[in-house]
């Protein structure tokens, strides 16, 4: 039994930008209900169900499909959402499988999609998962512990060049080369299987001036987590797949916590909210009109009140868009 199994899921997690997310999704849900339809929203990162519970409470006609790759999160969310009965559909899936999950639930199109990206409170707070560099634990870092390579296995087998690339690309770590060399040297003496040992290796490889400015493990742990879970490649597939499930008038809300994720989301939303008409064309033909319109001016941040109340909201970047033209 984990430390969370006997606790109330609502006490474990404070949803980030909850009111703003609900505000952005509400017009699409209400429009569908006013037309006599049955509104459907996909929470692509269900977690412990905070956003989902609030959506279901706010919209009595809503059906919510919640996706998560973490089986423990699904179990906890199930307890939180049990009072909604069949209106809450939980699916064990990664979010790039969103279109298949929607079809399997018996729907063709949906009215909203919500993504709260990155590592969840559950994963960070449970030491034995190995996500947090502040707590010594086995280096697992898999969001779905039923499959895939652990962080310890990556550290044991990846060549120095691959480790450097992982730290540079996914952690934007300026000391990537130094850290990769240090890890290869350390593992030749003994496997690096616990977070405490990895932190020790990184600290020893970090110049004192840098150690005084930031924790040397922060970006490396982020990079390993992204690599282990394939987060960026999954997100690259998930954004267009999610947008493709939306009916006209449907809305998408994305919350990202690192610049790499936010860039991917921004790229797709901006591209699909622009006309594709060739320059100089006197009349914009219907097939060149934008598919989406942006609902936020750039990326929105949490305000000071929320940052003080919930420190995990500090890095969040929220973007949202509405489908205005069908392409099917």
**pTM reported for the whole predicted model:** 0.87
Query: What pLDDT is attached to residue 144?
Result: 84
User: Is the dihedral angle over the CA atoms 128, 256, 53, 229 positive or is it negative?
Assistant: negative
List the binding residues for S-adenosyl-L-methionine: 49-51, 68, 95, 116, 123
**Residues whose CB falls within 8 Å of the CB of residue 6, separated by 6 or more in sequence, listed in order:** none
* Token pair recorded at residue 77: 């969310």
Query: What's the confidence (pLDDT) of residue 130?
Result: 55
C-alpha distances in angstroms, 214 versus 165, 173, 217, 300?
Answer: 21, 12, 9, 26
What residues contact 19, with CB distance under 8 A and at least 6 apart? none
**CA 323-110-260 angle, 5° bins:** 65
CA distance linking residue 317 with residue 1, whole number of Å: 35
CA distances from residue 262 to 163, 169, 325 in whole angstroms, order as listed: 23, 14, 24
* Cβ-based neighbours of 261, under 8 Å, separated by 6 or more: 117, 118, 231, 232, 235
In terms of Cα–Cα distance, which of 199, 179, 181 is closest to 139?
199
- Do 71 and 48 form a contact (C-beta atoms < 8 A)? no
Give the pLDDT score at 10: 54
For the segment 61-89, the average pLDDT, to the nearest whole number, is 95
Residues in the chain, total? 328
Whether the pLDDT of residue 120 is over 90: the answer is no
Residue 2 is predicted with a pLDDT of 46
102 has a pLDDT exceeding 50: yes
Q: How far is CA 85 from CA 60, 63, 64, 275, 277, in A?
A: 12, 10, 11, 43, 47
- Name the H helices within 84-159: 98-104, 121-125, 151-157
Determine the number of helices (DSSP H) and then strands (DSSP E) in the chain: 15, 7
Q: All domains of the chain, ordered by start, with CATH?
A: 9-122+231-323 (3.40.50.150), 127-229 (1.10.150.170)
Over residues 256-269, the mean pLDDT reads: 94
Q: What is the pLDDT of residues 264-286, one digit of tens each?
A: 999 999 999 998 777 767 777 67
Pull the structure tokens for residue 49: 């169900």
pLDDT band at 216 (very low <50, low <70, confident <90, very high): confident
User: What's the CA gap between 129 and 194, in Å, rounded?
Assistant: 10
CA 3, distance to chain mean position in Å, is 23
Triad 286, 291, 295: Cα angle to 5°: 130
- pLDDT, tens digit, for every residue of 125-141? 555 555 677 788 899 98
Whose structure tokens read 């063709």? Answer: 108
Sheet holding 317-323, edge to edge: 88-92, 63-68, 40-43, 110-116, 246-256, 317-323, 292-294
Contacting residues for 256 by C-beta, under 8 A, at least 6 apart: 117, 118, 262, 265, 299, 316, 317, 319
- Across 198-225, average pLDDT: 90
Q: What is the mean pLDDT of the chain?
A: 90
126 vs 176 pLDDT, higher one: 176
Binding residues: 49-51, 68, 95, 116, 123
């Amino acid at each position: 039994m984990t430390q969370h199994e006997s606790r109330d899921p609502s006490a474990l997690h404070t949803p980030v930008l909850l009111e703003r997310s609900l505000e952005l999704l509400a017009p699409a849900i209400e429009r569908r209900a006013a037309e006599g339809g049955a509104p459907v929203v996909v929470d692509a990162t269900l977690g412990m169900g905070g956003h989902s519970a609030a959506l279901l409470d706010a919209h009595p006609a809503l059906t919510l499909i919640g996706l998560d790759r973490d089986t423990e999160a699904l179990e906890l969310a199930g307890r939180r959402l049990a009072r909604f009965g069949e209106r809450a559909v939980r699916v064990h899936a990664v979010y790039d499988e969103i279109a298949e999950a929607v079809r399997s639930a018996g729907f063709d199109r949906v009215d909203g999609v919500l993504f709260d990206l990155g590592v969840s409170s559950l994963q960070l707070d449970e030491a034995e998962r190995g996500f947090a560099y502040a707590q010594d634990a086995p280096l697992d870092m898999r969001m779905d512990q039923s499959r895939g390579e652990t962080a310890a296995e990556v550290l044991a087998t990846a060549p120095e060049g691959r480790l450097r690339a992982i730290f540079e690309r996914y952690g934007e770590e300026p000391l990537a080369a130094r850290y990769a060399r240090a890890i290869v040297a350390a593992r030749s003496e003994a496997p690096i299987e616990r977070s405490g040992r990895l932190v020790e290796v990184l600290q020893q490889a970090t110049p004192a001036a840098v150690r005084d400015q930031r924790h040397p493990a922060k970006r490396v742990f982020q990079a390993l987590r992204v690599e282990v879970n394939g987060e960026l490649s999954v997100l690259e597939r998930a954004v267009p797949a999610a947008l493709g499930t939306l009916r006209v008038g449907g809305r998408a809300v994305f919350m990202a916590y690192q610049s790499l994720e936010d860039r991917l989301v921004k790229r797709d939303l901006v591209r699909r909210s622009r006309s594709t008409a060739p320059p100089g064309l006197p009349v914009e033909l219907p097939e060149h009109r934008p598919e989406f319109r942006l609902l936020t001016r750039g990326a929105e941040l949490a305000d000071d009140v929320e940052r003080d109340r919930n420190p995990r909201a500090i890095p969040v970047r929220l973007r949202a868009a509405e489908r205005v033209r069908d392409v099917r």
